[in-house]
Structure 1
Amino acid sequence: MNWFTPETLESAWFQVLSSFVAVNTLIYGTISLASVLPRLYPTQWFSSRNTRAESRSIYPETLEGNQS
């Protein structure tokens, strides 16, 4: 018995089901591809030129991390 008759393939429920399967496959493929690729960190896209030229610390004479 052939389940995929032309009447079945052209029915509304089969088209909805096949559309759902197609979208689900695209989403699953995108998520799988994203999990394989290395992570992207937007902070690395910009240079560090936005840092201050001078320290604005309350202890300007000490280096950062060496506050004693």
Structure 2
Amino acid sequence: MTAFLSPLGILLPESFLHSHLYAALGAFVAVNTVMYVVLAIAKALPKIYPADWLPRRYQRAETRSIHPDGHL
């Protein structure tokens, strides 16, 4: 185990830090972090119900009230 440790306490050689594998791992961690932050912010915001903005299917086109000028 001591063969992998350098006097500075670095476990990996510097050439590994410049490899494509390390860059891909760093990109994965970055995307994962951004997704986690977005989900945390979305959970903190109040819920939005799209059905409140869409017209209701059960709403009548004309009023059936005894008051003909009533609202729909």
- Please report the TM-score for the alignment, with normalisation by the length of structure 1: 0.59
1:27 partner letter? M
Q: Please name the residue that 2:50 is paired with.
A: 42
- Please report the TM-score for the alignment, with normalisation by the length of structure 2: 0.56
What number of residue pairs does the alignment pair up? Answer: 56
* Percent identity over paired residues: 34
List alignment gaps of at least 5 residues for structure 1.
62-68
Distance in 2 between residues matched to 1:15 and 1:51, nearest whole Å: 56
> How well do the aligned residues superpose, as a CA RMSD in angstroms?
2.9
Distance in 2 between residues matched to 1:8 and 1:31, nearest whole Å: 32
- The correspondence for 1:14, drawn from 18, 22, 25, is 22
List alignment gaps of at least 5 residues for structure 2.
1-8, 66-72
Q: Runs in 1 of length 4+ with deviation above 3 angstroms?
A: 2-6
Distance in 2 between residues matched to 1:53 and 1:15, nearest whole Å: 60
Q: Which has the bigger relative contact order, CA under 8 A and spacing at least 6?
A: 2
CA change 1:2–1:40 in 2 (3 A) is same
